Copies of this chain bind each other. A is one copy, B any other.
């Protein structure tokens, strides 16, 4: 994707301009502006004639959103959603083939509630209650974070994370019922597919699922269930490529439990190579143990000569100079394949250069970072800095159902409009979309083929959008 010769030439031009008092020569100025544009994500993508036409159209649509009284990426997503939904830019992004979603979670956190109220059929409940709108709203209220006044409801990271983990627990008993687990996964894939996504990597805790007779199913059962569901889904939707699982555990565990878990992950990776992508920790970084605490466990695969790819959450924090703030560096020292969030990366210049040289991308989830209160105005999101430098990133959605967002399109809107304003173009989108497959855990042959399929879809999207 990188036209090295052009870049080198422009860089020399830049050095020449910077070293002299060259004054306001419009040609040099133009060259510097182009040099900066070439650095951006997608800045070296050459658009064909039809893509240029669509880009022209897109820039006009963007201008409209930029000049509106309220700019959605500057607002909380819960308030911005209705504005985004009306935006023609959003409508275009929905239709756009988005490749893969590489950072999304399954439903649960590890600790289930030991006791919950007895089960009631939803039908019986509806018959008893007159106002079923209230009932439906109470489900939404309990299963998602949505609220009309998020600043009041969630004044701090502590309050929003508490509700966030609660919402997972509410869903826990529902989706760990074995048949529902499969239906839930199938429906999840359908929603991603309908948002024009062809492949998903799911971070999954793989908790025990239960049958009505009291039997509990183990992780092997869950992996096989995932295999079955994915097979069934791709049979029904042949242009969907599939899904893989990143096995996760809560970062609250201790070192001994971590050793056991990594061993379990190695076994799963050996037994389910087609569907098991690797390993990660979940839970709020600031309250959990830093990666370095788990060094013994995380060294096991290399020590034993076994390959276990890591996809660590790291830098999902605004603490600076703390132990947790070293997670980004440690993720790379443990040779992570991708980094989840990496919100703090721009503040770590050495780690940033390491990740660029090692070509380890960040999975950037704008809406999640905003709802979980790392950043308020998405124009201030550090990914704006990273994408201006062409740092490898993919856009993902973390927990779209909890945020009331579509599978990926709302996050694409926030990233495209919020991180780039008028400076991003169709080339930015094309690189992001290709990145999503390039940085997936798919085997290289499958990956190559997937990108070819994606590019055919892309050309079709461009043509249809010009009609």
Alpha-carbon distance between A203 and B17 when the two chains are bound, in angstroms: 29
Alpha-carbon distance between A444 and B302 when the two chains are bound, in angstroms: 58
**CB atoms of A346 and B377 under 8 A apart:** no
Q: Is A422 an interface residue (CB 8 A)?
A: yes
Alpha-carbon distance between A389 and B353 when the two chains are bound, in angstroms: 11
**CB atoms of B388 and A348 under 8 A apart:** yes
**CB atoms of B350 and A36 under 8 A apart:** yes
Measured between beta carbons, the chain B residues less than 8 angstroms from A150 are none
Q: Is A65 an interface residue (CB 8 A)?
A: no
| CB within 8 Å for A22 and B333 given contacts A35-B350, A385-B385 | yes
The listed residue (B335, B347, B354, B357) touching A388 by CB distance below 8 A is B347
**CB atoms of A350 and B423 under 8 A apart:** no
Query: Copy number of this protein in the oligomer?
Result: 2
Q: Is A21 an interface residue (CB 8 A)?
A: yes
Measured between beta carbons, the chain B residues less than 8 angstroms from A74 are 318
**CB atoms of B24 and A299 under 8 A apart:** yes
**CB atoms of A24 and B375 under 8 A apart:** no
Instruction: Write out, one digit per residue, whether chain A residues 356-386 have a CB within 8 A of any chain B CB (1) or not (0).
Output: 0110000000000000001111011110110
Name which residue of chain B comes closest to A389, CB basis.
B349
**CB atoms of A18 and B422 under 8 A apart:** no
Measured between beta carbons, the chain B residues less than 8 angstroms from A17 are 333, 354
The listed residue (B32, B299, B330) touching A329 by CB distance below 8 A is B32
Name which residue of chain B comes closest to A296, CB basis.
B24
Interface secondary structure of A, over-half rule: helix
Stretch at the interface among A115-123, A254-262, A319-327: A319-327
**CB atoms of A385 and B382 under 8 A apart:** yes
| CB within 8 Å for A14 and B350 given contacts A379-B320, A423-B320 | yes
Instruction: Write out, one digit per residue, whether chain A residues 389-426 have a CB within 8 A of any chain B CB (1) or not (0).
Output: 10000000000000000000000000000001111100
A-B contacts, 17 of them at CB < 8 A, read A14-B350, A14-B354, A23-B299, A24-B295, A35-B350, A36-B351, A39-B349, A319-B422, A320-B423, A321-B424, A325-B421, A346-B385, A346-B388, A347-B388, A349-B389, A382-B385, A385-B385
Extra contacts besides A14-B350, A14-B353, A29-B333 (18): CB < 8 Å: A18-B354, A23-B335, A24-B298, A24-B330, A29-B330, A33-B326, A33-B329, A35-B350, A36-B348, A36-B349, A36-B351, A318-B379, A318-B380, A318-B421, A320-B423, A321-B420, A375-B380, A382-B385
